[in-house]
Amino acid sequence: MAKSNSSIHVLECDTSSLSSISNLPSQITKALGSDAKLDYLLNNAATNSVPDQLSLNIDPEALLKEVGVNVIGPAKVVETLQGFLKKGSLIMNMSSGLGSAGLTISDIGSKCTVYSISKHALNMLTVHQSFNLKEQGVL
């Protein structure tokens, strides 16, 4: 797609790697210029690495890794790209029904606990990002 359309740029980033994320601004500047505005930032990358673990058999390493990818990843991507986020820019963090305590209680039940915890944390991150980027006019 990028080959047939010069306005499409594919920039690779491993959102589980802070060093990879830190390379994004220079890549974007190269592709779109230093005053580029990101109209939409969609944080989609995530992992559900240990779906079988429930609350009584959580592997600490697995939970930390899950939070690293699913929460710290989107947090650092937004932080790193803050300079490209301007009035009207919109951030969408891809959550899950499993991230909702309400839905888990009423409908889903206990499923994919580690993933569920990380997505619930992502929801809270979203609230904080909304507050912290309000002055910038970011949605």
Nearer to other proteins, 17 or 48 (CB): 48
Kindly identify the residues of this chain, within the stretch 22-41, that bind other proteins according to CB under 8 A. 40
DSSP string, 15-62: TT-HHHHHTHHHHHHHHH-TT---SEEEE-------TT--TTS--HHH
CA–CA distance, 100 with 87 (Å, rounded to integer): 29
Q: Which stretch binds other proteins (CB under 8 A): 11-19, 55-63, 76-84, 89-97?
A: 89-97
Question: How many residues of this chain interact with other proteins, rule: CB under 8 A?
Answer: 29
Residue of 95, 113, 116, 118 interacting with other proteins (CB under 8 A): 95
Kindly identify the residues of this chain, within the stretch 97-126, that bind other proteins according to CB under 8 A. 97, 99-103, 105-109, 120, 123-124, 126
Nearest to 97 by CA among 72, 78, 73, 115: 115
90 near other proteins (CB under 8 A): yes
Q: Is 93 helix (H, G, I), strand (E, B) or coil?
A: strand
Nearer to other proteins, 36 or 121 (CB): 121
CA–CA distance, 55 with 63 (Å, rounded to integer): 11
Residue ranges that bind other proteins, judged by CB under 8 A? 40, 48, 88, 90, 92-97, 99-103, 105-109, 120, 123-124, 126-127, 130-131, 134, 139
